[in-house]
Amino acid sequence: MKSEEKPQRPPVLMSFTEVKPHLYLSGFGCITEKAIHDHGITHAVDATNIPNNKRLSSLKYFNVPVADDLLSKINKYFYEVANFVDSAKSEGGKCLVYCAAGVSRSACLVLIYLLLRENMTLRDAYYYLNQKRPIIAPNINFWRQMIAAEEVEKGEATVKLITGRLSKPIPDVYLHRAVKMPEQIQKYEKKKSGFCTGSESTPTIENDTKEVEVKEGEEENE
C-alpha cells in the first residue's frame, strides 16, 4: 500500500522577503549564518514561540512568545516590535521578523509596522506585503487585533471581516488580493492546516454586531 505523500514545502516558505531596505520577513527554516550575513541582518524579532530556540551571536533579538492560535494576544507587542525595527534602522542595520513559516505571526507584526511607521492603512499594508510575499495569512484572531489597532491609530478600520458559509471569517482584502496565492502554496496550506482561505459562497461583512450582505455575484478579483 502506497504511503500518503507529505506536501512539499513551496520554495517561498524557505526564503527571505525584503519588505523595506531595513526590514525583512521569513520563516525559521531558512535562517542560517550565511543568509543572515548575505542580507546584512543585524536585528531579529523571534516570533516562533519555540523554547530554547537557536540564536546567532551576531544578532540583537527581540522575543515575541506568542502562539499562532485564536486566543493569543499579539497586540501587546505591536509598539515594542515597531520600536525595535526602528532602532535597527536608526543604527544603520536591518531587522528580520520571523516565525515558524513567515505566514501568520511575523506577517502580522510586519503589517502593523507598516501601519504604525510607514503611514499605510491596514488595507494598503496588506496589498503591499502580499505583492512581495503571497503566502501571508495571519490567523483571524490576529486580524481582529490588527483591525482594532487601526481603529485606535487611524480612527477607522479599512479592513472588514466577512462571513457566510465559511467555517471561519476572513478579511475582505482576500477578495481582491494584489497577488493570488500560488496554487502550490494553497495546496500545502490546505493539507497542513485543513483551512482554506477561499470560498465560493456568498459572504457577509462583519460590522461590529451586525452583518451586511455583500452583493450577489461579487467574486474574488485575482
- Classify domain 12-159 at the CATH topology level: Protein-Tyrosine Phosphatase; Chain A (3.90.190)
User: pLDDT, tens digit, for every residue of 31-41?
Assistant: 999 999 999 99
Model confidence at 189, pLDDT cuts 50, 70, 90, reads very low
User: pLDDT, tens digit, for every residue of 154-179?
Assistant: 999 999 999 877 778 999 999 887 55
Residue 8 is placed in which grid cell? 512539499
Q: Between residues 151 and 11, which one has the greater pLDDT?
A: 151
Q: What is the mean pLDDT of residues 111-134?
A: 97
Helix, coil or strand: residue 19: strand
Contact 85, 95 (CB under 8 A): yes
> Which helix (H) or strand (E) is 61 found in, with range?
strand 60-63
- Please state, rounded to an integer, the average pLDDT across all residues of the chain: 82
Catalytic residue among 30, 95, 99, 196: 99
Q: So what's the pLDDT on residue 19?
A: 98
Q: So what's the pLDDT on residue 177?
A: 77
- Provide, rounded to the nearest whole percent, the portion of the chain with pLDDT above 70: 74
Q: Is 30 a catalytic residue?
A: no
- Is the whole model's pTM more than 0.85, yes or no? no
Q: So what's the pLDDT on residue 52?
A: 86
